Amino acid sequence: MSDPDCLFCKIVDGEIPGDVVHSTDHSVAFRDVNPQAPTHVLVVPRGHHRDAAALAAADPAGVADLVDAAAHVAAAEGLEGYRLVFNTGEAAGQTVFHTHLHVLGGRPLSWPPG
Protein backbone atom coordinates (compact mmCIF):
# COMPACT_ATOMS: atom_id res chain seq x y z
CA MET A 1 0.00 0.00 0.00
CA SER A 2 1.51 3.28 -1.08
CA ASP A 3 0.30 6.85 -1.57
CA PRO A 4 0.94 8.14 -5.11
CA ASP A 5 1.43 11.68 -3.78
CA CYS A 6 3.88 10.73 -1.01
CA LEU A 7 7.56 11.66 -1.47
CA PHE A 8 8.80 8.73 0.64
CA CYS A 9 6.54 6.23 -1.15
CA LYS A 10 8.10 7.43 -4.41
CA ILE A 11 11.60 6.85 -3.00
CA VAL A 12 10.60 3.39 -1.73
CA ASP A 13 9.11 2.56 -5.15
CA GLY A 14 12.22 3.82 -6.97
CA GLU A 15 10.35 6.61 -8.77
CA ILE A 16 12.57 9.23 -7.12
CA PRO A 17 16.24 8.51 -6.41
CA GLY A 18 17.42 8.25 -2.83
CA ASP A 19 20.80 7.46 -1.33
CA VAL A 20 19.68 4.07 0.01
CA VAL A 21 22.00 2.61 2.66
CA HIS A 22 19.91 -0.34 3.90
CA SER A 23 16.87 -2.22 2.66
CA THR A 24 14.74 -5.11 3.89
CA ASP A 25 11.45 -6.65 2.83
CA HIS A 26 9.71 -4.25 5.21
CA SER A 27 11.78 -1.05 5.28
CA VAL A 28 14.14 1.21 3.37
CA ALA A 29 16.81 3.47 4.87
CA PHE A 30 18.21 6.45 2.96
CA ARG A 31 20.26 9.55 3.73
CA ASP A 32 18.38 12.71 4.67
CA VAL A 33 18.77 15.45 2.05
CA ASN A 34 18.99 18.06 4.84
CA PRO A 35 21.25 16.33 7.40
CA GLN A 36 21.28 17.57 10.98
CA ALA A 37 24.31 15.45 11.96
CA PRO A 38 27.21 13.83 10.09
CA THR A 39 25.10 10.67 9.92
CA HIS A 40 21.42 11.40 9.30
CA VAL A 41 19.49 8.52 7.80
CA LEU A 42 15.73 8.07 7.53
CA VAL A 43 14.26 4.59 7.96
CA VAL A 44 10.78 4.22 6.49
CA PRO A 45 8.34 1.32 6.21
CA ARG A 46 7.63 0.15 2.68
CA GLY A 47 3.90 0.53 3.36
CA HIS A 48 2.43 4.00 3.76
CA HIS A 49 1.41 5.01 7.27
CA ARG A 50 0.94 8.67 8.17
CA ASP A 51 3.05 8.68 11.33
CA ALA A 52 4.58 6.49 14.04
CA ALA A 53 1.29 6.23 15.95
CA ALA A 54 -0.55 5.06 12.83
CA LEU A 55 2.16 2.47 12.12
CA ALA A 56 2.07 1.23 15.72
CA ALA A 57 -1.72 0.86 15.57
CA ALA A 58 -1.74 -0.93 12.21
CA ASP A 59 1.48 -2.94 12.45
CA PRO A 60 3.23 -3.02 15.85
CA ALA A 61 5.93 -5.32 14.45
CA GLY A 62 6.60 -2.68 11.81
CA VAL A 63 7.86 -0.31 14.51
CA ALA A 64 10.25 -2.97 15.76
CA ASP A 65 11.46 -3.54 12.19
CA LEU A 66 12.29 0.16 11.82
CA VAL A 67 14.31 0.12 15.06
CA ASP A 68 16.10 -3.05 13.97
CA ALA A 69 16.92 -1.51 10.58
CA ALA A 70 18.17 1.62 12.38
CA ALA A 71 20.53 -0.52 14.46
CA HIS A 72 21.92 -2.08 11.26
CA VAL A 73 22.42 1.39 9.77
CA ALA A 74 24.21 2.61 12.92
CA ALA A 75 26.52 -0.42 12.90
CA ALA A 76 27.29 -0.01 9.20
CA GLU A 77 28.04 3.69 9.77
CA GLY A 78 30.37 2.82 12.66
CA LEU A 79 28.41 4.86 15.19
CA GLU A 80 29.38 4.28 18.83
CA GLY A 81 26.19 6.03 19.92
CA TYR A 82 23.21 7.39 18.05
CA ARG A 83 19.80 8.95 18.51
CA LEU A 84 16.52 7.65 17.10
CA VAL A 85 13.73 10.18 16.59
CA PHE A 86 10.13 9.90 15.41
CA ASN A 87 8.45 13.25 14.78
CA THR A 88 4.72 12.56 14.98
CA GLY A 89 2.49 15.36 13.75
CA GLU A 90 3.10 18.83 12.39
CA ALA A 91 3.49 20.35 15.87
CA ALA A 92 6.41 17.99 16.49
CA GLY A 93 8.15 18.98 13.25
CA GLN A 94 6.93 16.21 10.95
CA THR A 95 6.97 17.56 7.38
CA VAL A 96 6.58 14.38 5.33
CA PHE A 97 3.54 12.41 6.44
CA HIS A 98 4.92 8.92 5.93
CA THR A 99 6.30 7.29 9.08
CA HIS A 100 10.03 7.80 9.28
CA LEU A 101 12.62 7.16 11.95
CA HIS A 102 15.62 9.50 12.03
CA VAL A 103 19.00 7.92 12.82
CA LEU A 104 21.37 10.68 13.97
CA GLY A 105 24.99 10.33 14.99
CA GLY A 106 28.59 11.09 14.25
CA ARG A 107 28.85 14.04 16.66
CA PRO A 108 27.98 14.73 20.30
CA LEU A 109 24.21 15.14 20.61
CA SER A 110 23.03 17.50 23.34
CA TRP A 111 20.06 17.03 25.63
CA PRO A 112 17.35 18.14 25.66
CA PRO A 113 16.95 18.22 21.91
CA GLY A 114 15.17 21.03 20.07
Spans of all domains in the chain: 7-105
List residues with catalytic annotation. Answer: 100
Return mean pLDDT, the chain: 96
Statement: residue 114 has pLDDT above 90: no
pLDDT in tens, 55-90: 999 999 999 999 999 999 999 999 999 999 999 999
What is the topology classification, in CATH, of domain 7-105? HIT family, subunit A (3.30.428)
Please enumerate in sequence order all residues whose Cβ is within 8 A of that of 98, keeping only pairs 6 or more positions apart, or say none.
Answer: 3, 6, 7, 8, 9, 44, 48, 49, 50
Please enumerate in sequence order all residues whose Cβ is within 8 A of that of 63, keeping only pairs 6 or more positions apart, or say none.
Answer: 52, 55, 56
pTM: 0.95
Please enumerate in sequence order all residues whose Cβ is within 8 A of that of 57, keeping only pairs 6 or more positions apart, or say none.
Answer: none
Q: Which phi and psi angles does 58 have, rounded to 5°? A: -85, -30
